[in-house]
Chain A
């Protein structure tokens, strides 16, 4: 227990002893985690936008004339079982007539003397999906029913939105990985600088019988503290930035930035612990080889 306390206090004291390298590491971590955090917030809010857009995707299905209503109801139930379908809305002839009246202000019966509008169904697709959504399999499956006369959907628009979304996700992921790798390298190199400056301590520790883990522990603890402090500062900056930005954005576009301060801080601090642990372990292990 005393040994653990000693290693922990050495890690904390090292922050003060190595002020310049500590500042460099904390500042670098703060910058990179701020970028990583911003990317995460942007990514999360893009998800909300894409979910909103997907909520607007609809496939309109028109049934052949003379298909009994009961049979149509059965077919619509089959539509609900198709993978990727969120819900369906059956529009009977009379419903179609009401829609016509609400859109054109006139009763179709008064114009043509009978209701020529077919029975139709609106198929809504799922909104939550991480990768690119392809509505074609759904459309093909719907078309395979003999009761179906025509299927209308915004194929080109959906394809464009989904393609851009896919590219955006790929770029964001690549950027995030790049930022994290850079952070690991920065922390690793900063700890290496500290280690070079402290080679006398390491030598002394080795000569008095310190095990590898005993030599490593204070440097790793120091590295993790750099990461945690950097993450806390990054979280404070992002939370303040998002709060201000969200209010401004809401006043202009009624769009509120979606995020949770606790989740953001949790993710950034966990991320910083992992990357600073990796970075500092890598540096000290290379030195002790």
Chain B
């Protein structure tokens, strides 16, 4: 594998993924980044390049930066860091790329190298946050997620709450736009229908965003699963590990992954093998990428492969044949609907057609496709408050595209998008509201 010694030059102090998974199999980071031919076909797909016209903020630029860093031809610098930190990790470039260069993964590895656990990025922006209300509440929600998803050390270590004048989490909760009084799992635990008597046909994985913020989406998903697919159970899972992977350390991410894989193993032994269903596309995509966390360790890699093969995003799981007869558009009262394809659904998992196959026959001409439906909304996890200006402009573009088809409802499938677009609509196009796919199905289409 290591045809070029330079792969080993990449420092070992910071834990990295041994191999990145690419369309062309497992590759060491230097081999993966060398696949960039500099053809530039990715440029227009990149939200940050489209916005700025700057090569440093383009996928090709980022790959060349990382390549030169690895080759030792360039020293880490603030400007290089800017190129790397502004990447949304949306994956649109890889989708367009002929060689399928995994730019987002490459950028993540380089971030780990340059700033350890991403500490410096948080510090820099924190002072800016205080004066911006919207970003502020977004940040709080996000940090709240970090905390609840078990990454207490991260939020605390970063001193963000302190910088935000928020010494305690309780305070933060009060400021959040909406936080449910009871979390999803608590509510579902009491549901008799989910006790799992006999054979199960699905396992619900409660993503942190759904668990702590958008509880109603989770309830909707579970209702649909029960109604259409029969018995299933709640996984009582850990955080999927994505925040740790993106902003923390690989070890933390691996820990989370091991726990979840263990949980699944136990469930499948007690009951039977069944698909693991999520209603947050970011988490679903990450669960599907577990194998790359364990690349280089054959046994765990195989385990992860088996686990991730069971993972299904709710947007792909529901098939028209199973649900169409239960849907009608009466309750919709002529409302116009559009779909925002979350990056981690469309670029991360290749899901785009599936939900349209369900919605189109029911909504017909009321499904109005917005332009650039798979262009990032600028949420991208912590991006919205680590790169405030860029995020804002990308969001403006998204809202402009949304408003161009005059919808009443925008459908999305990832927590980060729900938060970001909710914020954008409120500010710029209040006549539309954002809804998760499951909630939309349940509220508007499912016949009683």
* A and B held together in a complex: no
Which residues of B come within 8 Å of A, CB atoms? none
